[in-house]
Structure formats: structure tokens, C-alpha cells
Structure 1
Amino acid sequence: MDNLKEKTAQGLFWSAINSGVTQVLNLVIGIFLARLLSPEDYGIVGVLTIFTVIAGNLQSSGFTQGLINLKHPEPNDYNSVFWFNILASLTIYAVLFFCAPLIAMFFHRPELTELSRFVFLGFVISAFGIAQNAYMTKKMMNRRLATVSLAALAVSGTAGIAIAFSGYRYWSLAWQQIIYISVLNAGRYFYSDWRPSLHIDFTPVKKMFGFSVKILATNIINTIGNNILTLVFGRLFPMKAVGNFTQAYKWDTMANSVVSGALSQVSQTVLVSAADSGDRERRVFRKMMRFTAFLSFPVMFGLALVAEEFIVLTISDKWLDSVVLLRILCISGAFMPFYTLYQNLAISSGRSDIYMWLNIVQIVLQIGVILLFHPYGMTAMVVVYTAFFIMWLAVWQAYARKFIKLGFTDTLRDIMPFMIAAAATMGATFFITKNIGSYAVVLPLRIFIAVALYAGTMKLTKCEMFDECLAFLSRKRK
């Protein structure tokens, strides 16, 4: 138990470092690009997101999670998945290549034909690194994964800014994606010990198929759910409005990824290690819930608090229309990391069927509710999306009770103190600073006051999670 606890702490530490520094780099890169490009440029590339992510899901077919879920995967398991990904990606790219004119026709933008064919090359390139990523994740090589990710982001971001500065508009965003995936794969091969061989045996893929196909279906449904607003908005509203939503969604995703990104690299591996251990698995899961709540609520509520100052000072007032959307999305974003935990609990329990069906039902209902509010405009649709997203967590909690006998009151006891503390902190900060007129003054002041109030609250209430985080960071400094 102590060994698992230390490995979990180490994994979360490096994953958090990766997620945190990644989002800082994304922040800097995003500021430069948003100042160089227009909302319309972001809208044009944004409407392609759903196609690239679905294609990526089809390409990996859930076998990444399948590999991680194996207790002791063999080299042939990785090799089988590697070659399956290569063949799948080439097949899917050929289909999408010929579908590009139809995509352009759907969104009424002829330039999307050539652009989409280029962007779709990304998942062909990524196919060469999926098995490597699964290998490194299974081995909990989080420090090296962080190094590779940061290097790829720095190189691709610099290239994207240079291309945008040269006047190539939305093409800079497309090139940034391609360069990022290429550098990421190169880094994975540099650090990973495993190498593919020409001995092709799809037997492991066949054995994992029943489990992985449910993951595949769920990933596709999740992708549709996460990008449904962009898809619908791209069809119904001007590209400028779509670009404003894309910008808000991007900042929201970057912020909640600080927590969910760290958890996604660690939680499934740790939960698999603790599986079938009864109370031990429940204790591990509840510890992760508290860690999630401890970080997620102040980060997301804090971003909602400073959304206007942040947008105007960083990417200029031409993006001011995205502020309201960002504030709404921050509320749902605070709960996004909890979905990561619940979903990985289902997967580690071998219940990919539950994982699949809960997500399918969620997205179907979510789409229906969103479309009902279409006549009321974009903002109303985002509000409904957020409300439904939060309420659906109750369904996941009901199944967590079946998996590890986790009661609803236990969950509330784990997360509510942090949510209340974060909300009270942001409310107090707002009233202290509401009469300050200068954006340049109020932004850093609100951040400083909010951090001080939240940390002080954790210290005064003798929060165990706060003390453990300080103790761990103290050990790392030594």
C-alpha cells in the first residue's frame, strides 16, 4: 500500500507538472496566435476538430486503454496494436480524403476541402506513437512523458506563431497540429525501450477486441458530446461566432486539463493495481476524489472570476464576446476531472460496457436538450449543456456505489468542502476588488487575494490534502 501510495504521488506530481507547464505554454502560444488571427480563423479550424478526434478514436480503437488495463502486457501485445493502428489510420485517411468536399459543403466553406485533407494527416502520423504512449503510460514514465509533451508543444507553438506572423492565417493552426504530433512521436521513440517488429500477429488485438470496442464506441460518443456545440454552431451561426465559442472552450479546456490531464495519466494504472482489493480500492478512489476537488474547484472558479480581465489583457477586446461563454463553461469544467475518475474506475473494473452505455445515453440526451434550446441562441445552449453535464455525474456515482460501494454521502463529504471553500473565496475576492477599474491592476490582485484566501482557508481548517501536498513538495525540494 505504501509503495502504491508513493508511486501514485510521484505519478500525480509529474503529471501535474506536465499539465501545469503545458497549460502555461499553451497560454503563451494562445495569446500570440489569438492576437495574430481572427475569430473566423479559429472557427474554420475549430469545426474540423470533431472529425480529427473521431478519426483518432477509430484509429486507436480503444486498444490504448486495453493495453494499460492488462496486468502484464507482453511486447507482442504492443506490436499487435501498433500495426493495427497503422493499417486503420491509412484506411480512415483514404475515406476522409474523399469526404473532404462534403465536409466543406456542410459548413458552406470551400477552403475546408484542402485544409481538412492536410489536417487529417495528423492522425496518420500519430498512429506510429500510440503503442509507445501506452507503453510509457503503463510503466508510469510520467517524467519522460512530461518532457516529450513540453518539447513538442514548444516547437509546434513557435512554428505556429511564425507561420501566422507570415500571414498564413488558419493554416498556422493546421501546421501547429501536424508539427506537435510529429515531435511528440519522435520523443516517445527516444525515451521508450519498446520497438515494433515486423512479426505481425493480431491475436492480442482479437483478445482485447471485446473490451476495446466498447471503449472505442464510448470515445466516439464522448467526442461527439465534447464537440457537439462546435459542430452545431458551425452549421447554424457565422464563423466569427463559432470562433468566439472555440476560444472560450479552448481556455476552459486548458484550465480543467491541469487536473484532468494529471489524473488521466495515473488514475487507470493505479486503480488497476488496487482492483479487487475491496476497501483499499475505495480508499484510493476517495483520495483521488479529494485531490481532484482540492485543485479543480479553485482553478475553474478562479478562471470564471477573472475571465473578462484575462481575455482583454491577453488576447485583446476583439474576443470580448467569448467572456460570457467562458464563464459558463468554467462551471462545467470544474466537474470535468470527476468524469475522468469515474470513467477510469469503470474501465479498471473491467466494465467497459457500463463505460460505453452511460456515455451513449448521456450524449443522446444532451444533444436532444441542446437542440430544444436552439431558438434561444448560443448562450442558452451553452447554459443547458453545462447544467446537464453536471447533473449526469449523479448517474456515474450510482455505478461507483456498485463497483466499490462508494456512498453518495461519502462523495459529497469528499468534494463539497472544497467546492464551498472555492466559491466563498472567489465571492469574497470579487467584492474586495469590484470597485477597481483597471484591468491591469485587478487581474493580478484578484489572483493573489484568491490564492491567499484559499490557502489560508485550507490551513485554518487543517485540511489533510493541503498538508500532504505541502509535505510532498517539501520532500521534492530536498
Structure 2
Amino acid sequence: MPEQSLKEKTAKGLFWGAVNNGAQQLLVLVFGIILGRMLGPAEYGMVGMLTVFTLIGNSLQESGFRAALANVKHIRHEDYNAVFWCSLGIGVCAYLVLFFCAPLIARFYHEPALIPLARYCFLAIPIASLGTAQGAYLFRNLKVRQQALSGIIAHILSGCLGITLAYHGFSYWGIATQSLTYLIVVTICSWYFSPWRPTFRIDFRPLKPLFAFSSKLLITNIANQLNNNLLSVILGKYFNPQAVGNYNQANKWNATGHQFITGMMGSVAQPVLASISDDRERSLRVFRKILRFCAFLAFPAMFGLSIVTHELILLTVGEKWTGSIPLMQLLCIGGAFVPLNTLFSSLIISQGKSDIYMGNIIAQVVLQLLTVLVLIQLGGSIYAMVVVNVCLNIVWLFVWQGFARRFIGLKVKALLLDLLPFLLTALVACAAGWSASQGIGGPLPVTFLTKILIAAACYFLVMKLARAEILQECIDYLLKRK
């Protein structure tokens, strides 16, 4: 792939990734606000306690095949066909196992009402399996615009249905139906946008070379889901649905922020880095550029979200969610580092080192689990558990850097040079926004807007005075498209 072609494809992918994730997160935000006002923490907590099982089931049916197919140099119909039938088979089997395990899950949480809800929510697994191969085709071929349209359409339709059901008193069943509808629409759109179609000539032999790579991603993805949802499980076991609901509300807002950036990077990072993985020097140059762009967006966005949490929660979902405010403030600090860690993991996968990716994630999960269990034994609060989770996310960035140095020569000094200017500028800008709001005072909307406008203006001004290359390239690209 020529240099100019690679640059253009990366820029185009990032642009449509931004459109996709920006529009999707905005829709999540709007529908989340409406549902948050209609439903309470306990109702969100009921679905939240089942989320980890659904995500693990989806990881099983996907089995790391999407990334594995993206790394195949010469792809064939037989590769996609084998993945389609394998994913469908695993998805159906996973659903049947979880269907019969629903009473055990309900007993674990001491919530009998979870039995029918679990069996309904777990339908997401076989539904998602129908679109795994088509999604892999779109991902491999950088069809980011098509993925963007799929997600936007799915969010609109599922959000409207969820609100309608909640309005008519279906409580947490409305949330569950919203999630299922989203997957159904995404799957249908994936079939529409992908020209590839499965055939009934089933041959699983092409999976053998893929499985050596994808099996490690499968284990890693399951570990990732445990890592991301561990606190929901712990809170559901040792606290109550309301505690789970408050944590999930806080984490949902946090995820809305960092997933915009993570999704944008994820749509292009691995395919682009995989295409140049045999050129160490070029890989380092391209990776550092993407890293700076990621930091340029992540630090101001997530630190900014942290300082407006109080106003945001009260203005949107109301006082009944006050318990989520301190949790969200902490989570957003750690959320600034999530896109960076995800970018490093994409680099490792693009190098074909799924075993290292797997070991790294498992180590992080085990460490987090041990620390949380120790805190429970010591009578630690929910806030202490969140602090540990945030600190672990920040520290783990340097673990990833150690592996990046081995593969592309990224040194700690280079990492800090790429990140610190954006991190420090974001801290200063957010501090200025917060201080200005304290001086002006006034009602919640006034302090909310003051923080945002002052912080954004300060960040932009410092970047402009420092002649930040990333800022100028973004402006040039947007003007060019215009």
C-alpha cells in the first residue's frame, strides 16, 4: 500500500470513525437521558447484572475471527464461510447453555426475577453470530462509512422502541428489548452492506490456521469483558441492584466519552498497522502519529467530562442518580487512558502476537480481581474499588509500552513526549474552566456551559500557540473535505 494511499485511507477511516462514533454516542446520550428519567437505578441494575454473561457469550461466538481475518494476507470465500458457520454454531450452543444456567445466575444474585430476563437477554448471542463474518468483511476492507450507517440506524430504531416500552410500564424489559433490537438491526445492515454471502458448502478446514491466532484473542476478549464488568458482578453479589445501577449509569457516561475515541481508532488502527507490520521504522512513525491524535482527543474530552459530571447528571437524568456522580468523576479520569491502552493492544494484534495480548489482559484481570477481593475483605467501599480500577488502567499503559518497544522500538521517553503535552494542557484547561465557573456561579446550566466553553477555549488556544501539528492537520483535513 503506497504511503499516500495509506495516509488517505487512514484519514478517511478516522473521519468516518468519528462520524460513526460521534453520532452513535450522541444517540446513546439522548436515549440514555430519556430512559434514565423514566427508570431508576434498580431497574438498570437488573439488566446490568446480566451484561457480563451476554458479553462473554458474544466473545465466544466471535472467537477473535474478525481480527484474525483482517490479518490474513490473501483472503478467500472459504475463510469467511467457515467463520460464519462456526460463529453461528457457537452462538446457538452458548445460548442453550446460558438458558439452562439462568436459575443458577438468579441464585447467585439472589434475584428470582432474573431467570426469564436472562433467557430473553441472552438471545443477543445467536443474533450477533449471524453478522460476525459480514462484520469482519466490512472491518477488513475499512468500510467505516457503512459501519457508521449501520450503527446510527440501529441506535435510532432500538432507542425509540426502548423508550416506548419504558413509557408503557415494561421497566427493565424495555432496556433488554432495546439491546436486542440494536443487534438485530446491525446484523441486517451488515448483510446489506457486505457483498459476501455464505454458502451451504461447509468446510471448517480454513479455521485451522486462523484458530492459532483467534483462540488467544477469544480468551483475551473474555478476560477483557470480565475486566470491564468485574465491578458490576461484585456489586451485584455483595451490594444491591441500586448500587449496580448507579455504577452502570456512571460507567455508561464514561464509556460514551471514551468509546467515541476508542471506536474511531479501532476502525482503522489494526488494519492499517497490519498492512505495514513488516516495516519496523514505518510502523513506529505511523503508530506515534495515531497515538498523538488519540491523546489530543482523549485527555481534554475525558478530563472535561469529569469536571462537568455534577451538572451533567442533575440536568439530564435527575437527582435520583446523585449516587453515580462521584463514581463517574473517578471513572472519567481512568477513561482518558482507555483509548490509549486499546491502541497499544491493536498494535500488538497487528504484529500477530495474540499470545502476548492474551497474557497481558489476563494479568490485568487477575490483578484487578485480587485487589477488589482484598478490599471487600477489608470492608472497602465502592469508591475504593473504582480508584483501584482507575489506577490500574493508568499504570498498565507502561506495560503495553514495554511490548511496543520490543516490536517497533517505542521508548518511554518517546511515549511521554507524545502524551504529556496533551495531558498537561488538558489539566490546565479543565482547571481554568472549573475555576471560572466557581467565580461566576449561577444555576446549573450556566456553570455547565462556563466549564465547557472556558476549558475548550483554553485548550484550543494553547494548542494553537504551541503550533501543534495534530491540530493543524485536523483543521486542514476538515477544510479540505468541506
Query: Do they superpose with TM above 0.5?
Result: yes
Partner of 1:170: 172
Cα deviation code 1:20-71 (max 9, x no counterpart): 1111111100000000001000000001010000011111111111111112
Cα deviation code 1:267-289 (max 9, x no counterpart): 00000111111210100100110
2:388 to 369, 384, 387: 384
In structure 1, how many angstroms separate the alpha carbons of the residues matched to 2:112 and 2:149?
A: 39
Shift of 1:437: 3.4
Shift of 1:6: 0.8
In structure 1, how many angstroms separate the alpha carbons of the residues matched to 2:166 and 2:73?
A: 46
Partner of 1:161: 163
Q: Which runs of structure 2 are paired with 1:432-447 in the superposition (5 Å)?
A: 432-435=436-439, 436-447=441-452
Partner of 1:242: 244
Q: Does the aligned pair in 1 maintain the 2:341–2:397 contact within 8 Å? A: yes
Structure 1 residue 427 corresponds to structure 2 residue 431:
yes
1:19 to 21, 41, 44: 21
Partner of 2:342: 340
Q: Does the aligned pair in 1 maintain the 2:258–2:339 contact within 8 Å? A: yes
User: Unaligned stretches of 5+ in structure 2?
Assistant: none
In structure 1, how many angstroms separate the alpha carbons of the residues matched to 2:251 and 2:311?
A: 17
The one-letter code sitting in structure 1 at the alignment partner of 2:186 is L
Shift of 1:433: 1.0
In structure 1, how many angstroms separate the alpha carbons of the residues matched to 2:245 and 2:191?
A: 35
In structure 2, how many angstroms separate the alpha carbons of the residues matched to 1:322 and 1:394?
A: 29
Structure 1 residue 464 corresponds to structure 2 residue 469:
yes
Shift of 1:123: 1.2
Instruction: Find the residue that maps to 2:131 and give its secondary structure.
Output: helix
Structure 1 residue 78 corresponds to structure 2 residue 80:
yes
1:360 to 359, 362, 377: 362
Partner of 2:100: 98
In structure 2, how many angstroms separate the alpha carbons of the residues matched to 1:283 and 1:325?
A: 37
The one-letter code sitting in structure 2 at the alignment partner of 1:46 is G
Instruction: Find the residue that maps to 1:195 and give its secondary structure.
Output: coil
Shift of 1:72: 2.5
In structure 2, how many angstroms separate the alpha carbons of the residues matched to 1:368 and 1:471?
A: 48
Instruction: Find the residue that maps to 2:206 and give its secondary structure.
Output: helix
Partner of 1:295: 297
Partner of 1:329: 331
1:261 to 260, 263, 269: 263
Q: Does the aligned pair in 1 maintain the 2:292–2:418 contact within 8 Å? A: yes
In structure 2, how many angstroms separate the alpha carbons of the residues matched to 1:135 and 1:446?
A: 42
Cα deviation code 1:301-359 (max 9, x no counterpart): 00001000000000001101101000000011000001111111111111111001111
Cα deviation code 1:202-228 (max 9, x no counterpart): 111112111111001111111111100
Partner of 1:108: 110
Q: Which runs of structure 2 are paired with 1:24-423 in the superposition (5 Å)?
A: 24-374=26-376, 375-423=379-427
Cα deviation code 1:73-113 (max 9, x no counterpart): 11111111000001111111111110000000100111100
In structure 2, how many angstroms separate the alpha carbons of the residues matched to 1:25 and 1:66?
A: 31
Instruction: Find the residue that maps to 1:434 and give its secondary structure.
Output: helix
Q: Does the aligned pair in 1 maintain the 2:273–2:283 contact within 8 Å? A: yes
The one-letter code sitting in structure 2 at the alignment partner of 1:148 is S
Instruction: Find the residue that maps to 2:273 and give its secondary structure.
Output: helix
Instruction: Find the residue that maps to 1:145 and give its secondary structure.
Output: helix
TM-score by length of 1: 0.99
In structure 2, how many angstroms separate the alpha carbons of the residues matched to 1:167 and 1:242?
A: 21
Instruction: Find the residue that maps to 2:112 and give its secondary structure.
Output: coil
In structure 2, how many angstroms separate the alpha carbons of the residues matched to 1:242 and 1:178?
A: 21
2:455 to 450, 458, 462: 450
User: Unaligned stretches of 5+ in structure 1?
Assistant: none
In structure 1, how many angstroms separate the alpha carbons of the residues matched to 2:119 and 2:71?
A: 34
In structure 2, how many angstroms separate the alpha carbons of the residues matched to 1:184 and 1:222?
A: 22
In structure 2, how many angstroms separate the alpha carbons of the residues matched to 1:72 and 1:425?
A: 48
In structure 2, how many angstroms separate the alpha carbons of the residues matched to 1:25 and 1:360?
A: 33
In structure 2, how many angstroms separate the alpha carbons of the residues matched to 1:438 and 1:339?
A: 37
Name whichever of 293-302 and 372-381 sits farther off: 372-381
RMSD: 0.8
Instruction: Find the residue that maps to 1:390 and give its secondary structure.
Output: helix
